[in-house]
Amino acid sequence: MHRLPTLLSGILLVFLTSWLGVVAYSTLELGRLQPAPDAETGATLPPNYGGDAIAGERVYAAEGCASCHSQQVRQTSITGTDIARGWGVRPSVARDYLRDSTAFLGSSRLGPDLSNIGVRQPKAAWQFLHLYRPGSVAEGSLMPSYSHLFEVRKIQGQCSDAALDLPAEFAPKPGYEVVPSTDAKNLVAYLLSLRHDYPLPEAPVKKAAGAK
């Protein structure tokens, strides 16, 4: 180990163990997973999601949502509390992230896990309210307000369909309405697409009622 070639070969070999064992293995084994067929509906799983959800993924990245929210339901051999808490019906597996161009696994839960938020809060109206004024639907929430994703504008004639239905203390001044921007709509489309509740060969969904 006094000479560079010896030292370098040693470092290379040892480093290769983790590089091959983790990176190459995951890229080749998990990275090549294909969608699984759904016997009941003939579709493939995980389900595809539409263009606005794909755009919403970029909004999720830009706002740094992964700093506070995770997107993984943990394996039951480690802990069953994620499932018991209703954050999912089964643990997340690698194939669940197949359609994501960026897998936002997250490493911090300042806010709840989002991997099944499309099941827990399937109404876009709730999602918009929550983004605009989190306190209006979740009292005491740490979540900051993302009002910059919305536009407060004067009501032209009638309220537009997309206007948020805010409670009195959060509503804008009379004659004004809050309308989501394209970014907000895309983000909500992405959030509503988040679900890991379908069965996969390596992750069956237990039909027993005791899951939730």
Partner 1 sequence: MHHDNHQNECGGDSSGAPLSPWIVGAFMISLFLGGLYLAYHSGGFRSDVYESNAVSWTGGGAQTEEKVDPKVVGKRLYSQNCVVCHQSTGLGVAGQFPPLAGSEWVNSDSKHGENHLVLLMLHGHQGPMSVKGGNYNNAMPQWKQLSDDQIASILTYIRSDWGNNAPAIDPSFVAGIRSEHKDQSDPWTQAQLMQMPPAKGTPAAPAAK
Partner 2 sequence: MSTTTCRHEEGIKAAHESCIDASVRSPLLLLFGNALHWLVVAAFLAFLASVKLAFPGFLGGVAFLGYGRLEAMSRDLFLYGWASQAAIAAGIWLMARLSGRPLGGVILRTVINSAIVLWNLAVLLGTLAILAGYSTGVEWLEYPNWVSSMLLLSFLMIGIWVVCLFDRRANIGSGGRAETALWYIVAGFCCFPWVYGTANLLLTWKPVSGSAQGLVQGWFSGAFLLLWLLPLALASLYALLPRLSGQHLHRRNLSPLGFWLFLLLGGWAGLSRLIGGPIPAWMTSAGIVAGVLFLIPVLIAVINLAFLQRSGGHDGDGIAWQYLRSGLFLVLSSALLGAFVSLPDVSAFARFTGVTSARDVLWLLGAVSFTLLGVLHKATPALLAREVWCAGLSITQYWLAFAGVLLLAVLLFLEGLVVGLALLDPVVSFLNITSYAQPFHVLEAAAWGIFLASAVLAATNFTRALAAERLFPKN
Pick one of 15, 43, 123, 160: the residue that binds partner 2 (CB under 8 A).
15
91 CB neighbour count, 10 Å cutoff: 20
Q: Based on the shown chain and the rule CB under 8 A, indicate whether residue 173 belongs to the binding site for partner 2.
A: no
User: Choosing among partner 2, partner 1, none, which partner's interface includes residue 173 (Cβ < 5 to 8 Å by kind)?
Assistant: none
Residue 119's SS3 state is: helix
191 CB neighbour count, 10 Å cutoff: 22
- Cβ proximity to partner 1: between 29 and 151 the closer is 29
* # of chain residues touching partner 2 (CB under 8 A): 79
Least distance (Å) between residue 50 CB and partner 2? 17
Under a CB-based contact definition with an 8 Å cutoff, are residues 60 and 187 in contact? yes
Least distance (Å) between residue 25 CB and partner 1? 8
Q: Which residues, numbered 69-128, are part of the site for partner 2 (CB under 8 A)?
A: 70, 72, 74-75, 77-79, 81, 84-86, 91-110, 112
The number of residues in the chain equals 212
State phi, psi for 66 to the nearest 5 degrees.
Answer: -65, -10
Q: Which stretch binds partner 2 (CB under 8 A): 140-148, 154-162, 165-173, 186-194?
A: 140-148
Q: How far apart are CA 174 and CA 181, in angstroms?
A: 20
Residue 146's SS3 state is: coil
Q: What share of the chain is helix, strand, coil (3-state, %, to 5)?
A: 40, 10, 50
- Cβ proximity to partner 2: between 47 and 64 the closer is 64
> Using omega within 30 degrees of 0 as the cis cutoff, is the peptide bond preceding 46 cis?
yes
Least distance (Å) between residue 12 CB and partner 1? 23
Q: Which stretch binds partner 2 (CB under 8 A): 36-44, 131-139, 163-171, 186-194?
A: 131-139
- Cβ proximity to partner 2: between 26 and 41 the closer is 26
